[in-house]
Amino acid sequence: MPLKSTAYAENIYWVYGLLAETEQKCLDAIKFLADKNIGTRPFFWCMHEQPVFLNMGLYKDEKYPNGERLARNGFYLPSGLGLTEADLNYVIQIMNSF
């Protein structure tokens, strides 16, 4: 669970990310949610895997296993000011049923 607040800031929950144990479980969760009309987004990919940087010759043959695992196993649930309490409860209910 993300922290609600710290001594210097309050969380605005811009994104709410979940991390699956494996890439396959992540893909399964994303498909399950999509089948229930709940859109998700994958975690951001590591800089060393971004095509723009690879095309520039940067990060050649570099590996960052922790970042790669996070990128492949994580996804974001819907968030934003346009979601109603009912929308949020629906996402929670469906995610709990997974």
Closest CA to 20 of 12, 11, 29: 29
Q: Model confidence at 2, in pLDDT bands (50, 70, 90)?
A: confident
Q: Dig out the tokens for 39 from the structure.
A: 């859109």
Q: Per DSSP, which regions of the chain are E strands?
A: 16-19, 41-42, 74-77
Assign domain 24-97 to a CATH class: alpha beta
What's the pLDDT at 5? 93
29 vs 33: CA distance, rounded Å:
6
Q: Dig out the tokens for 13 from the structure.
A: 């929950």
Instruction: Indicate the SS3 state at residue 74.
Output: strand
**Could you tell me if 40 and 34 are in contact, meaning their C-beta atoms sit under 8 angstroms apart?**
yes
73 vs 32: CA distance, rounded Å:
15
Q: List, for residues 24-73, the tens digit of each pLDDT value.
A: 999 999 999 999 999 999 999 999 999 999 999 999 999 999 999 999 99
pLDDT at 13 over 80: no
Domain boundaries in the chain? 24-97
